[in-house]
Amino acid sequence: MEKKKVLIIIPAYNEQNSIPTVLRKIQALPEQYDIVVINDGSKDNTSLAARSVNGVTVIDLPHNLGIGGAMQTGYIFAHRRGYDIAVQVDADGQHNPDDLPRLLAPLIRGDVNMTVGSRYVEKTAYRSTIMRRLGMVIFSLVVSLITGQKFTDTTSGYRAVDREIIAFYGRNYPTDYPEVEALVLLKRAGFRIAEVSVGMDARQAGTSSITPLKSIYYMIKVLLAILINVVRPKLKGA
Partner 1 sequence: MELTVYNYATVISVIFLGFVLEMVRRYSLKEQYSILWLLVAALMLLLSLKHELLEWIAQALGIYYAPAALFFFGLIFCFSLILHFSVIISKLDSKHTRVVQEVALLNQRIRELEERMADTQPNPRKGA
Which residues contact partner 1 by CB under 8 A? 38, 57-63, 65, 69, 72-73, 76-77, 80, 175
Give the H or E element holding residue 59: strand 56-60
SS3 219: helix
Shortest spacing between CB 43 and partner 1, in angstroms: 16
What's phi and psi for 93, nearest 5 deg?
90, 5
Residue from 105, 74, 69 nearest 89 by CA: 74
Taking CA atoms, 61 is separated from 12, 65, 159, in Å, by 10, 8, 22
DSSP code for 99:
G
Shortest spacing between CB 46 and partner 1, in angstroms: 14
Residue from 161, 95, 96, 153 nearest 119 by CA: 153
Shortest spacing between CB 64 and partner 1, in angstroms: 9
- CA-CA distance, 84 to 55, in Å (whole number)? 19
Shortest spacing between CB 170 and partner 1, in angstroms: 10
Shortest spacing between CB 202 and partner 1, in angstroms: 30
Give pairs for 218-222: CB < 8 Å, separation 24+: 218/135, 218/177, 219/135, 219/138, 221/176, 221/177, 222/139, 222/177, 222/180, 222/181
Shortest spacing between CB 15 and partner 1, in angstroms: 17
Beta bridge partners of 87: 8, 160
SS3 132: helix
Closest CB to partner 1 among 70 and 198? 70
Closest CB to partner 1 among 124 and 172? 172
Shortest spacing between CB 37 and partner 1, in angstroms: 11
- CA-CA distance, 183 to 124, in Å (whole number)? 22
Closest CB to partner 1 among 65 and 103? 65
Closest CB to partner 1 among 58 and 112? 58
Closest CB to partner 1 among 72 and 156? 72
Closest CB to partner 1 among 14 and 73? 73
Closest CB to partner 1 among 19 and 198? 19
